[in-house]
Amino acid sequence: MFRQLFRHLREAQPHQVATMTVQELKTQLDARTPMVLVDVRQPEEFAYDGHVAGARLLPLPVLATRLNELPKDQPIVCICRSGNRSQVACEMLQRYGFTNVTNVVGGMIAWQRAGYPVNRQS
């Protein structure tokens, strides 16, 4: 009886967001694995704190209004400073029908701690 009562709650929950480490991201980038890497930080963070080469800046506050810039037929990998905003971005993308989204755990903090290169604008 309880299963039937609460079945709609289980069905309403979004799918679990896939995750990858910065090491996995680096490996995929080096292998030129097709993906759209989306950085959801603010423009000043992207420019001055550094970003992964090839990342597209789509700040989280405007992501929902710019979904048409993202392909639904390619993997989308989201990154931010620590992995929190990118998790929110992945959940949002799933709600809008994107099925192949992945969050980079640890974000740019983990990327830089691993010693991977960053692009900076001055």
Q: Which residues participate in catalysis according to the annotation?
A: 80
Do residues 102 and 34 make contact, with C-beta atoms less than 8 angstroms apart? no
Alpha-carbon Rg for the chain in angstroms: 16
How far is the C-alpha of 58 from the C-alpha of 53, rounded, in Å?
15
DSSP letter assigned to residue 16: P
Task: Report in angstroms the alpha-carbon separations of 83 from 22, 31, 39.
Answer: 11, 23, 10
* Distance, CA of 31 to chain centre: 19
